[in-house]
Structure 1
Amino acid sequence: MKPEPDALAAGAAEATEARAVARADTHLMRSLLVGIFIFMSVYALYFGRAFFMPVMLAFLLALTLTPIVRLLRKHGIPEVVSATLLVLLSICVFASAGYLLSGPIIELINNTSSIGHQLGERLAQLRRPFEKMMQISHQIEQLTETSQEPGVQKVAVAQSGILSSAASNILSAGTSLTIIFVLSLFLLASGTMFYEKIIQSFASLSEKKRALRVVYDVEREISHYLLTVTIINAGLGLVIGLGLWALGMPNPLVWGVAAALLNFLPYVGALLTIVLVAVMALISFDTISYALLAPAFVLLCDIVEGQFVTPMVVGRRLEINAVAIFIAIAFWSWLWGFVGALTAVPLLVVIKVFCDHFEGLAHVGNFLAAQQTAVVDDEPVEENTEAAA
């Protein structure tokens, strides 16, 4: 006997419903696994920052110097020689900058109290509306102290010695710098070894070609971006340092280096530089009108760099939306402190370029992109991958 049509329809509906339930369960399980993986990754990055931070910085340094190594290889210089020279040059630059900046920075730290006192005197007229509130707060604090029971004792936690803490920090910083430079040297000197390992993990020839195309394209875009932005920030720091020196600002080298480093933080870094320069200018110059020239000059340089130089040299394709930038800076600042804040945007660009080359992650790259580049640039990606092939 043939089954009735109603029975067939009911069986098909049940099978369809069962498949839908199975797909939903699979999707839920996959989402849970992804969430657990992300949570465990953040946990590992936070508690293992002493290891992951120098490794991440080494990879970023190697990616920054890779275009120079490739250029020197085209002129007949082996990767080992060029990588060694570049790493030694980087060590000399960092050591020289540390030596030149150590004196002025220590002096600024030692004079923090006097700087605050001088700044308060210059801005005394702005503090008058708040003096009454400060007096009320002080009176409340005195009443709280006098109302304590006589038998209650305050417990003070003894701090460790300053010398031992400083020695521990210096040792930790030296170990991290050693890991950064040595690992970046190995990465630069390895040449195409990692690309060969990636190709060997695929079976078919088409998959190998696609993997090689994607890896070369991602590496080229990220390396070009990091090197270009580093050169632009160095130029910005040089211009700001020379301009502040011409205005008579004390320690112009410190503010030039600070401007170059903080410019890796879009929006936030420029604002911090302007505020710091304004504070030092107010206590360094006699008149407020002349003191305002220094932060105005820094603001002008930041506007020219952000609105003209960087978009013209780097292009609009790798721009990140402001919301993603602030979230990344807040997250990496909480995770790794100031070093994490400096690496937040380069890491965000790395993630965006990586996501743009995979269809399953295209929505993530689309979210990270700026508003004017919200539509994924499929054609340029294909052209770049074909050129890389």
Structure 2
Amino acid sequence: MHRAVGLHTPSLLRAAMTQDPRSDGQVPTFRSDQTDVVKLAAALVIVTILIGTLYVGKGVLIPLAIAFLISFVLSPLVNWLARRGLSRLLAVGLVMLTVGIVIAGIGTLVGSQVRTLSAQLPTYQTTIRTKIDSLAQQMRGPGVFDGALETVNTVQKEVTQAVQGSPETAGVSKVEVVPAATSPFQTAKDWLIPALSPLATAGIVLVFVFLVLLDSGDLRDRLLRLMGGNLHRSTDALDEAGTRISKYLLMQIIVNVTYALPLGLGLWYLGVPGWLLWAVFAAFMRFIPYIGSMLSAIFPIGLAFAVDPGWDMVIWTTILIVFLELVSGNIIEPLLYGTTTGLSAISLIAAATFWTALWGPVGLVLSTPLTVCLLVVGRYLPQLQFLETLLGSAPVLDVPTRIYQRLLADDPDDALTIVEDTIEDGDVAGFYSDTGIAVLRQASDDFLGNARAEHRLRVANGMDLLLEDLRADYPPPAAGQTRPRIACIGGKWEVDSIACEMLSHALSLEGLPATERREGALTSRYVDKLDLDGIEIICLSYFSRDPESSIRSFCRRLRQRWPGRKIVLALWNAPETLLDPDQIRALGADEVVASVDEAVRRIARMISPEIAEQALIADAPENDAARVEALLETDILDGHARDELDALAKRAADVFNVRFAVISAIDADREFIVGQSMELPGELTRDGTEMIVMPRDDAICDHVVASGETLVVNDTERDPHFAEHPAIRLWHTRFYAGAPLTTNKGHVLGALCLLDTEPRKLDDEEIELLGTMAADIVAVMTGEEGEVPEPKPEPGSASLGQAVPD
């Protein structure tokens, strides 16, 4: 008799109920649903209050928002003048005076064109009337709607006559109401109030801008105080908001100016009156999203219609505007904006709709900067992270999760599209290592938890289709079609066998013919049926987090039936403690790998040790002779800057919180440690300046010098390039990151290297910061500004544990 047991019932109960203290722990009471409802209601009330406050207080908030946006544009210029020795007050006054003079000059020119244009407008009436009459004559004649229009006119006349001839209206005379005379005071009031309102708003904005620029430091401190919490997070939020908004507004100004200049010149060449007026008008109107460009095009096209008796000017003006719109929208804006705001297209449209409904046309202009502020707040405040999810342009799901979700939804075609977009330069092995195994890892984690039988079947079938298409699109080279020397065997579950198919394909693409075997029950009969004749290396694949007993049993049977074969364990999901080589040997295996790239490189080394050893040596760059000459010209190898370079290495170690950092330089055949953050352990060779010297073949930064790119190794034990490196082993290093020391002429003198005894990762910002510090070191070595390296992924970077971002 069988009994069904709910595997996750206890955990669900613990999450769903709390114990009532009055019940002595005997009666569970459910509170989570009630708490969620209360939180949701509170959030809705808060949102309603905030929206109401924004609407009611728009008279004060709109000028304040405009002032902040203007200050974002002017603040860099004020800071630049302040760094040149001017007082803050004088710098602000000088900047605002300059801006006022520029605006007054443009206003004067535009005003003169407005006066000239207003004087010429009456002369265009004849041309307009002639064109309209011409159009009317062309459209006159029998048409589709003539009968309907005639019927409407007849009905209208009959109704009018009936009303005029009705008894009720008979004898009724019309009465004309004459309005009372308006007093001069009322007339002045009717004219002045609408005119003074914009002037008052402009004055308020001007005062706000002056105060924000003058007391920006104090205002920043107050905002930090209001945000509270983590000072680092609050500072990053303000910095990112300021940077994004300033860059967006600056790019908007550049885009508008690059549109207005050719527009004005084109209108002048075509002879459209008021060309300067329309160019300036277009530059300002394009600050209004979506409709500004269309509104700015109406006036020059309409004036071209009024001026030219023919149609040439209208046609060429329209062509000019359309051409500039296409160039601006498809070339200039994508080139300059890039990912300036970080907002998605849908969020931009939704934000424009929301702020326009709340604050009118001004809200439409302010919608993008205000929404950027919400995005940044959501990024740095945990309570508001949903804002980043709703508004941000960055994908909310990583690539493995997207592929896995498409498989769960039984949409392998869409999953294949994502796979094809992910694979770069035909690096299928890199895709398997970075993405494919991650998809299977999610499937393995969900196998006994969230997945239903239908989900498991969809994932299995979908992965079969994906791998079949990848094998067809990326066949192995002809040299890889010989008899397999490597067998990949699934350990326990079907997901283990799917990983074997990935690994087998990756090995074959590298010229290492391999075959795969499905998972099966660990019995002597199963092992006997494996047919491993001619196989030199057996790779066992496991996603289980606790596979020790299965590994030990499998290895023992393999050793008994197929002696002499080397066994490699591919532990895709095992804890760090199980990856220890000594423990793996105790289980009966020879090697252990944790990624497809590592497996390919380690197995290649086992198959052909000599070729693999040679591949570990970095090739000299093409300009190596000029590079060495540039290094010798710095005289840095005589040790004269040792103290300063040691201090920079110490700073790098402290900034990145690593155990130690070194600054190395490579000449024709040796590597010199010209700066170090601490005394390095071990017996090391030193020259007459007490600098550590190593042969170039054993140089710790030779790969960085050869590629000229930043190199990051998350775990040196997982990468064959570094696992056996003498300096790495001597210093017990598990993490390595090196940024090239590149001069402004492109010569790589050496590298700034971070080393730690524990595996770790660097994010994109940290990698960029490492390159900036390397440029500072070059400035010390050469006396000139160094080149900040641009990190780029190189083939096989995934085997180093972290693909360096592009």
> TM-score normalised by the shorter chain: which range applies?
0.7 to 0.9
1:288-303 equivalences under 5 Å are 288-303=311-326
Q: Distance in 2 between matches of 1:386 and 1:144?
A: 85
SS for the counterpart of 2:272 is: coil
Cα displacement (A) at 1:134: 6.6
Contact 1:259 1:270 in 2 (8 A): yes
Judging changes above 3 Å, is the alpha-carbon distance between structure 1 residues 35 and 343 closer, same or farther for their aligned structure 2 residues? closer
Judging changes above 3 Å, is the alpha-carbon distance between structure 1 residues 153 and 230 closer, same or farther for their aligned structure 2 residues? farther
SS for the counterpart of 2:31 is: helix
Q: Distance in 2 between matches of 1:39 and 1:201?
A: 20
1:86 to 70, 87, 95: 95
Match of 1:340 in 2: 363
> Which range is displaced more, 248-257 or 82-91?
82-91
Contact 2:128 2:305 in 1 (8 A): no
Match of 1:245 in 2: 268
Q: Distance in 2 between matches of 1:280 and 1:357?
A: 51
1:33 aligns with 2:58: no
Judging changes above 3 Å, is the alpha-carbon distance between structure 1 residues 83 and 266 closer, same or farther for their aligned structure 2 residues? same
2:254 to 210, 219, 231: 231
Q: Which has the larger radius of gyration?
A: 2
Match of 2:86 in 1: 77
1:129-168 equivalences under 5 Å are 132=146, 147=163, 150=169, 163-168=188-193
Q: Distance in 2 between matches of 1:251 and 1:282?
A: 14
Match of 1:4 in 2: none
1:236-385 equivalences under 5 Å are 236-318=259-341, 320-370=343-393, 373-375=394-396
Q: Deviations over 1:262-292 (max 9, x none)?
A: 2223432223333433222222223324421
Cα displacement (A) at 1:120: 3.7
Cα displacement (A) at 1:251: 0.7
Contact 1:261 1:342 in 2 (8 A): no
Q: Distance in 1 between matches of 2:245 and 2:188?
A: 41
Contact 1:233 1:263 in 2 (8 A): yes
Q: Which structure: greater strand fraction?
A: 2
Contact 1:330 1:341 in 2 (8 A): yes
SS for the counterpart of 1:249 is: coil
1:182 aligns with 2:201: no
> Which range is displaced more, 179-188 or 332-341?
332-341
Cα displacement (A) at 1:375: 4.2
> Which range is displaced more, 81-90 or 144-153?
144-153
1:215-226 equivalences under 5 Å are 215-226=238-249
Contact 1:62 1:184 in 2 (8 A): yes
Q: Distance in 1 between matches of 2:128 and 2:70?
A: 37
Q: Distance in 1 between matches of 2:348 and 2:173?
A: 48
Give the percent of matched residue pairs that are identical in Structure 1 and Structure 2: 22
> Which range is displaced more, 180-189 or 76-85?
76-85
1:97 to 96, 102, 106: 106
- Paired AA for residue 66 in structure 1: S
Contact 1:282 1:292 in 2 (8 A): no
Q: Which structure: greater helix fraction?
A: 1
- Paired AA for residue 194 in structure 2: N
User: Which of structures 1 and 2 has the larger relative contact order (alpha carbons within 8 angstroms, sep 6+)?
Assistant: 1
Judging changes above 3 Å, is the alpha-carbon distance between structure 1 residues 361 and 164 closer, same or farther for their aligned structure 2 residues? same
SS for the counterpart of 1:292 is: helix
Q: Deviations over 1:64-85 (max 9, x none)?
A: 1112222323333333222212
SS for the counterpart of 2:85 is: coil
Q: Deviations over 1:17-73 (max 9, x none)?
A: 53213312322322331342144124314xx43x33222211111111112222323
Cα displacement (A) at 1:245: 1.0
Cα displacement (A) at 1:313: 2.1
Q: Distance in 2 between matches of 1:18 and 1:119?
A: 79
Match of 1:3 in 2: none
- Paired AA for residue 276 in structure 1: F
Judging changes above 3 Å, is the alpha-carbon distance between structure 1 residues 187 and 221 closer, same or farther for their aligned structure 2 residues? same
- Paired AA for residue 277 in structure 1: P
Judging changes above 3 Å, is the alpha-carbon distance between structure 1 residues 118 and 172 closer, same or farther for their aligned structure 2 residues? farther
Match of 2:685 in 1: none
Q: Distance in 2 between matches of 1:225 and 1:63?
A: 10
- Paired AA for residue 367 in structure 1: L
1:193 aligns with 2:205: no
Contact 1:232 1:310 in 2 (8 A): yes
- Paired AA for residue 57 in structure 1: I
Judging changes above 3 Å, is the alpha-carbon distance between structure 1 residues 99 and 122 closer, same or farther for their aligned structure 2 residues? farther
Cα displacement (A) at 1:296: 1.4
> Which range is displaced more, 88-97 or 78-87?
88-97
Aligned-residue Cα RMSD (Å) equals: 4.2
Contact 1:241 1:255 in 2 (8 A): yes
Judging changes above 3 Å, is the alpha-carbon distance between structure 1 residues 202 and 267 closer, same or farther for their aligned structure 2 residues? closer
Task: Give the structure-1-normalised TM-score.
Answer: 0.77
Contact 2:89 2:214 in 1 (8 A): yes
Match of 2:55 in 1: 43
Q: Deviations over 1:292-339 (max 9, x none)?
A: 111211222222222222222232352544444444444444444443
1:172 to 190, 197, 221: 197
Contact 2:278 2:300 in 1 (8 A): yes
Which structure 1 segments of 5+ residues have no match?
Answer: 1-8
Contact 2:260 2:283 in 1 (8 A): yes
Contact 2:74 2:95 in 1 (8 A): yes
Contact 1:357 1:381 in 2 (8 A): no
Q: Count residues in correspondence.
A: 371
Match of 1:21 in 2: 33
Task: Give the structure-2-normalised TM-score.
Answer: 0.40
Contact 1:278 1:294 in 2 (8 A): yes
Q: Distance in 2 between matches of 1:281 and 1:335?
A: 37
Match of 1:63 in 2: 72
SS for the counterpart of 2:90 is: helix
Judging changes above 3 Å, is the alpha-carbon distance between structure 1 residues 374 and 214 closer, same or farther for their aligned structure 2 residues? same
Judging changes above 3 Å, is the alpha-carbon distance between structure 1 residues 381 and 305 closer, same or farther for their aligned structure 2 residues? farther
Contact 1:352 1:364 in 2 (8 A): yes
- Paired AA for residue 194 in structure 1: L
Match of 2:555 in 1: none
1:210 aligns with 2:233: yes
Contact 1:222 1:353 in 2 (8 A): no
Judging changes above 3 Å, is the alpha-carbon distance between structure 1 residues 202 and 299 closer, same or farther for their aligned structure 2 residues? closer
